[in-house]
Homo-oligomer: A and B are copies of this chain.
Amino acid sequence: MKKFVIVGLGLIGGSMALALRGFEDHTIVGVDVSQPTLRFARERGVCDRVTEDAGEAIEGADVVMLAIHPQGILDFLKAYRDRFKPGCLVTDVCGVKSAIMEGAECLPEGVDFIGGHPMAGTEFSGIQHAFAEMFQGSHLILTPRETSTQAHIALMERLAAHIGCRDVVKTTPAEHDAILAYTSQMMHIIAVSVCDDENLFTCKGFEGSSFRGCTRVAALDVGLWTQLFSLNAPALTACLDTLIGHLQNYRKVIASGDREALAEKLTFSSGRKRQMDLPGPDLLH
């Protein structure tokens, strides 16, 4: 049996443990610092084994997946750098990659690191919200090192297939971070900004699916997103400037009363969306 360690049994780590059941010949070992989380995981059989001792867990581990907050990953890599066995594959699940890949430079030669980011999640956090189907139909983004072995990349691809991902997308940390600023972080800033409107509570009973869709992610995990936004501030603020400019352009043409110009702008934007042809949201509730 091989040993697959998941450090952090929160929403993503817990769901990963559930989704990884039966993944080849791996024993899944879960690590967490929270006693209630460990108890929950033990009682529900989320992993094959759980422990609060990270050092003991990663000893002899073949794969270690860090499913903790970005700053926690950086701290963990530094603290446990000498505890991984040679040939071990270390990976993570977090939404910034440049900072993490740089942090992973501290690992000794012979310990591989492939950045991972499963494009899945909900607005909740904690193991009690974890579910095995979390990753079904989602993209798994990988940022391998130039030196990452083919065997390790292939392992991550089989993992993606096992947990139900739609596909695997390989990219660079910088490209990942620029695109994630736009596709994910900015969506969260929009959601919280919409909720800052003083009319929020008045609108209850009037909100349609577009409002629920846009604001769904506003009930975010403050600690996590503070780190994600901060670790990616330059890309994120650039995206926000672009968005604000586009909003101001729409505001201007609506205020002008020029219906023809408004229709032309809407034709342009909606055409882009149709060309993009994204599948509908695969929300679970």
Contacts and interface: CB of A to CB of B under 8 A. Distances in A.
Contacts of A207: 119, 139, 183, 278
B275 A201 contact: yes
A133 B201 CA distance: 28
B247 A204 contact: no
B278 A280 contact: no
Given A222-B263, A225-B266, A230 B206 contact: no
Contact of A193 (B193, B246, B274): B246
Interface residues of A, number: 97
A276 interface: yes
Contact of A274 (B141, B190, B202, B219): B219
Interface in A169-223: 169, 176, 178-180, 182-184, 186-220, 222-223
Contacts of A284: 280
A180 B193 contact: no
A199 B179 contact: yes
A213 B213 CA distance: 5
Interface stretch (A32-40, A55-63, A253-261): A253-261
A189 to B, nearest CB: 5
Contacts of A273: 191-192, 195, 215, 218-219
- What 7 A-B pairs come out closest when comparing CB atoms? A192-B269, A218-B273, A213-B213, A187-B210, A193-B246, A280-B285, A212-B281
19 contacts: A119-B207, A119-B208, A120-B209, A121-B208, A179-B206, A183-B203, A192-B266, A201-B275, A209-B283, A212-B282, A213-B217, A213-B283, A223-B263, A226-B262, A233-B257, A237-B255, A244-B248, A247-B247, A280-B284
Interface of A: 119-121, 138-139, 141, 167, 169, 176, 178-180, 182-184, 186-220, 222-223, 225-227, 229-230, 233, 236-237, 239-244, 246-251, 254-255, 257, 259, 262-263, 265-270, 272-276, 278-285
